[in-house]
Structure 1
Amino acid sequence: MGGAIYPESLIKAHTDFLKRSILGNTHSVSNSSKLSLKCADEARMAVLTHFRASSDYTVIFTPNASGALKLVAESFPFVDGSNLVIGADSHNSVHGIREYATSKGARTVYVPSTPRGGFEVQTAKNILLRNRPRSKDLTPSLYVLTAQSNISNSKAPLSITEYASSLGYHTMVDAAALAATSVVHISEYPIDAMAVSFYKMFGYPTGVGALIVKKSFLAQLKRPWFAGGTVDVVQVPGNIVTRAKLPHEQFEDGTINYVQLPAITNGLRFLSAYLPFLPLRLSSLLMYLTTSLSQLRHDTSGRPVVQILSRTPSRRLHSVGEQADTGSIIALLFFDATGELIPNSFIEYAASVQNISLRTGCMCNPGGAAALLGIEEEMRHLYLGVTLDDFEERMGRELGVVRISLGLASNFHDVWRVIKFATSIGQEKSRQVMWGQWVQSRTPQVDQAM
């Protein structure tokens, strides 16, 4: 579902800590506040250490990865003549940056997606070159890289930030999907800011993300407002504001989630122990799953049961420390015995009956979904006020894909159950039974008056 299953040991360690500790608002000097501040500083250092960030970086805690992206979006000094370059295969939280860019007169330029998602590196470089900032100081421009797609399973080379930086762009990376299963050393690249979300990495806590950001980049951002915790002195009435001294304090609005931050330190310690081995295990599971699903056939017609749309690994990993060239998800569609598309809503219902959690739809990634489904031309003809129902009516079918996600807690039994479920879709008798149950569940029940 795009979020890791929280480990029992992490929950126990955190609750044990809370039982023996009293935490207070960090904007004070009481003993409980000092303890909270100490835990927050430890969590900040744990994040910097995990991502191999140098002393040039700091950490801003946010509600999630979207909040981290928004901090940069609202504060970036776009002007008339600036460019925002982003990939079509990106999350809506990345696409949303264009609203701030447009409001300040900047232009948004898209790197097109390939039919399997992601982008061609040379195409991206050509677009970056054609739209390079005339002046890094006078027309600040931003390149936002989706490090790993949440729908197409594509991984992008972080090294492209080197090319963008050489042209004068500031660079930001959405690493929400990547950080859960991959080793990321941010200091190896000219990355100005990177957004992550901890529940995607180790399941607990939710409601906490981070922006790992260069201090020099922060100094160039201009916040459109201030809040409690971000300021030192505020003149009231008046217009004078003195910002907080530490760079991260100027961007953490109000009270940080201080009760949960100790879990970040423990969670990163937990994940770090598994991360070197995780790509190898997930590679084996993903290769087995994709191979098995691709071989499924309907028992009455021999037609394929599924079509995998997302990128699949080009090779299987064989040793600890190797990094996969894709993520660990599958985006696919199910078809009936005649080759007709089975509604995703039926697949989601049938899976839930068997206690299998999967997700359907466009995964908040309309550009990636359009590329995988081959409806980019139809996307170009959308109009103001269009709804999803309007779009689906025009297309004559439900839009989106079925996404199966593997992560930290996934094991062979999980994969085997998914294969068994998909096999049942290819069996006429069992599918008809499930179809009848699904239709009945969607039929409004009318109370009979006695």
Structure 2
Amino acid sequence: MPRPNLIFILADDIGYADLGCCGARDAQNRPADVSPRLDRMAAEGLRFTRGYANSAVCSPTRFALITGRWQYRLRGAAEEPLASAHGDKVLGLPPAHPTLPSLLRDAGYATALVGKWHLGYPPHFGPRMSGYESFYGFHAGGADYFAHCDPRGRPDFWENETAIEEDGYLTDLLSRRAVRFIEQQSADRPFLLSLHYSAPHWPWLTRDDRAESQRIGGFGKHTDGGSLETYQRMIHHMDEGIGWVLDALERQGLADDTLVVFTSDNGGERFSNNWPFVGQKMDLLEGGIRVPLVARWPARIAPGGVTDTPNLTMDWTASFLDAAGVAADPDHPLDGRSLLPLFDDPQWNPARDLCWRMKHREQRALVRGRWKYLQVEGIEYLFDVVADPRERANLRDREPGRLAELRSAWQAWDAGLPPVPPEAKVSLVFSRQDLPQASY
């Protein structure tokens, strides 16, 4: 079998049930036809019911994805999210660190990032310093969909290291550039395409909302705007663009030999549907870390599969390298685990622990099978997330032995990683004062 092409599509702040194949509903609580192409992709491939993000906030998950290792091993990932300033020499992905794109590039793959970087600013950090041969997108944690500026109103749209100006809706621009990249590839060289959308991250703007972009001054937190309809149309625009990408693979005769993965960097926020979970972005409740996840690879994955095996974002780094036959750097062994066995047997479910820690509200969590240990602001919880996915029944007093076992496992895991520096910041990118707070 030839080495597959690899496409990793990452949405920003999408909720677990924001896709039709995961239960999306409209404002009248009817099934929402918001993601027909992703729903079709799920039907043609494998859907994961227990896909977890490495973090409940964006940049730490991106550190884990690009390195295949616990994000806590790097200083920049201690920021929740990364809010480094231009010229910051500390907060970012060190260019010398091996990455998924650098390992694949060195093995002969063409590599490109289209969309969001958010792993540190030039001149000290950047996509092309960390393995991507080409870059088209933005550096910050978010971008206005028409003004193409960062949260402070500074222009932030780039082709490689050159600032560019292009008119158009950002989601569509990214989708079209991804299509162009596919069309430009030679048949004798496999490729890695990282397509990292800003959608449906605020500001909540559809293709028809240029005037609204101007009203809010090109960005801002946009807490007085948006609606469920707007939010779902943003997802639909992204879904259309993903359809353009899948169609380009078909036209180029590449669909069968291309592994395409879609997921989110963390759980959803203001307008998201995280059902049946509680919590959202910034929470280690299921709503903050369990995300939609779909994989399609016609040459390897049978259609219509569903798996309940728990997994983390960084497992896809290991999976892509495994699929390409590329070894990890021996000085930077992977913490993620290849999921390729699931392509042959969706019931494959080896015993392992998935772990998290966050400075925000001093949260910690560990998932082992159906059991979840959670601590928030010093209060401990034990949930059976299979029987109780809404995390309402705290079983800590009924299962004290299991509570102690999982607490000890989390502590042992935590002891093997660098501590969170006291100067690390929690920079909430949206106001939660007017949002319903999760009850623990």
TM norm. shorter chain > 0.5: no
The structure with the largest alpha-carbon Rg is: 1
Q: Normalised by the size of structure 1, how large is the TM-score?
A: 0.34
Q: Normalised by the size of structure 2, how large is the TM-score?
A: 0.34
Judging by fraction of residues, say which structure has more helix. 1
Of structures 1 and 2, the one with the larger relative CO (CA 8 A, separation 6+) is 2
